[in-house]
């Protein structure tokens, strides 16, 4: 398994597995007790994307870390997982 530095993730583009551009990574939420990454904070690509995702007080969209499928030149997230997140938020 290769290692990825958190600093290399800043501003990385996030796409869904269907090719939809979601936004760029801004920060991460980490559980301070376990050290596990809980969510990615992203700057949404559009207002429409921001409205479909859970957001924090600053307007950053939150992508659950469990939604990540791959990290290479960009981050790929499961569109299905994001849809489930949206349904849970209602």
- Domain residue extents for the chain: 6-89
The beta strand positions in 1-90, using DSSP E, are: 13-16, 21-30, 37-44, 61-64, 68-71, 75-77
The model's pTM is 0.78
Domain 6-89 has CATH 2.30.30.240: yes
**Residue 90's pLDDT is what?**
44
pLDDT digits (tens, 9 = 90+) for 16-63: 999 999 999 999 999 999 999 999 999 999 988 888 888 888 889 999
Q: Are 64 and 14 in contact (CB under 8 A)?
A: no
**Residue 83's pLDDT is what?**
75
């Amino acid at each position: 398994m290769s290692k990825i530095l958190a600093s290399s993730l800043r501003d990385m583009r996030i796409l869904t597995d269907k090719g939809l551009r979601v936004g760029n990574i801004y920060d991460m939420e980490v559980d301070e007790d376990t050290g596990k990454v809980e969510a990615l904070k992203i700057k949404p690509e559009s207002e429409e994307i921001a409205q479909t995702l859970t957001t924090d007080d600053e307007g950053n969209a939150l992508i659950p870390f469990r939604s990540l499928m791959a990290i290479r030149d960009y981050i790929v997230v499961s569109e299905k997982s994001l849809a489930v997140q949206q349904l849970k938020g209602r």
